[in-house]
């Protein structure tokens, strides 16, 4: 098989239980090389557990497949050597400098020509001028850069990023994503979980998961086209009162405020028009719009069943 065409991740039926709870339920995924694959889902949806099974930190209770060409059950140790995993929480040493942290990680991975590689990584991530600064004194954005640098030192083939930009300012988030696209263009594959819809739009492909189950996957355009949502934007008037009425209407699938406007979606134009009839005040303006990823996300989450519900 052509190694360029061979998927980096190819798993089927992944299942993980903790006690009597099914945290990941029959999950399938196929990710080609050099792609940025986004995970979207609410807290507790199984994103982190899935990532840990893929990189060999957890053994699935059921399911099979490969990551980086290695069996996820029998060859987990081989997978871990070639994956960069960035956890939700900063995992490096606060009382070591940036340079000391990277040198320590390079020693663990037995990186050849360690000093040169650390220096090159510091330069690439814009950390060279701060190399002596203690990691614990860094802001969220600089900690993020340091964590990414540590993930890249051993030249991984796959990056697994678990909500990497939580709590980071918009400028730092944009710079981080620019770097991810540069890495993907060079052939690195990235699997990233996020709650930010602007970040989701920058992924090549997306998977929506909730309560351990895959709800939908595809490119942003494919997800929007397949959502079967008719959406309108409403401005002016008493949007709070209108929102309460629409939420109680079974014909409406989602209602959500967007700044000074309200988005309302239904499964058809007829349902949407019928729900709005008699409820639009003279001082309101209504226009039909294409649903966005957040509209789809809200609709999918409302239709999902919580596996922790009593």
Q: Give pLDDT, residue 56.
A: 86
In this chain, the answer to whether the domains covering 9-223 and 228-290 adopt an identical fold is: no
Q: Give pLDDT, residue 300.
A: 81
Q: Give pLDDT, residue 2.
A: 46
Strands (E), the chain: 9-18, 21-31, 36-40, 62-67, 70-71, 83-86, 158-162, 189-193, 205-210, 213-218, 230-235, 252-258, 261-266, 285-289
Provide the residue ranges of all domains of the chain, joining segments of one domain with +: 9-223, 228-290
Q: Give pLDDT, residue 305.
A: 63
Q: Give pLDDT, residue 1.
A: 41
Q: Give pLDDT, residue 189.
A: 94
Residue-wise pLDDT tens digits, 60-115? 999 999 999 999 999 998 998 899 999 888 889 999 999 999 999 999 999 999 99
Q: Give pLDDT, residue 309.
A: 54
9-223 topology per CATH: Rossmann fold (3.40.50)
228-290 topology per CATH: Alpha-Beta Plaits (3.30.70)
Low-confidence ranges of the chain (pLDDT < 50): 1-4, 310
Q: Give pLDDT, residue 195.
A: 82
Q: Give pLDDT, residue 298.
A: 83
Q: Could you tell me if 162 and 86 are in contact, meaning their C-beta atoms sit under 8 angstroms apart?
A: yes
Token code pair at residue 282 = 């003279």
């Amino acid at each position: 098989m052509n190694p360029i065409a061979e998927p980096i991740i190819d798993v089927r039926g992944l299942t993980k239980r903790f006690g009597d709870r099914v945290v990941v339920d029959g999950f399938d995924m196929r990710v080609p090389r050099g792609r940025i694959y986004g995970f979207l889902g609410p807290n507790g949806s199984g994103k982190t557990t899935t990532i840990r099974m893929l990189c060999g930190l957890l053994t699935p209770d059921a399911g099979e497949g490969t990551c980086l060409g290695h069996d996820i059950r029998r060859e987990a140790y081989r997978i871990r050597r070639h994956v960069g995993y960035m956890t939700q929480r900063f995992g490096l040493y606060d009382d070591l400098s940036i340079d000391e942290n990277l040198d320590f990680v390079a020693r663990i991975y037995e990186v050849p020509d360690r000093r040169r590689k650390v220096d090159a990584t510091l330069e690439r991530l814009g950390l060279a001028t701060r190399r002596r600064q203690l990691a614990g004194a860094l802001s969220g954005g600089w900690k993020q850069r340091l964590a990414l640098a540590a993930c890249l030192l051993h030249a991984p083939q796959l990056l697994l990023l678990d909500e990497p930009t939580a709590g980071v300012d918009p400028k730092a988030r944009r710079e981080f994503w620019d770097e991810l696209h540069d890495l993907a263009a060079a052939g690195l594959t990235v699997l990233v979980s996020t709650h930010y819809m602007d970040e989701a739009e920058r992924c090549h492909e997306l998977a929506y998961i909730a309560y351990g189950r895959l709800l939908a996957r595809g490119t942003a355009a494919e997800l929007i086209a397949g959502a079967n949502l008719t959406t309108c934007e409403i401005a002016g008037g008493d949007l709070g009162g209108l929102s309460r009425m629409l939420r109680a209407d079974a014909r409406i699938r989602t209602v959500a405020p967007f700044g000074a406007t309200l988005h309302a979606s239904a499964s058809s134009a007829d349902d949407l028009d019928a729900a709005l009839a008699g409820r639009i005040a003279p001082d309101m303006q209504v226009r039909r719009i294409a649903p966005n990823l957040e509209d789809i996300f809200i609709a999918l989450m409302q239709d999902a069943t919580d596996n922790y519900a009593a």
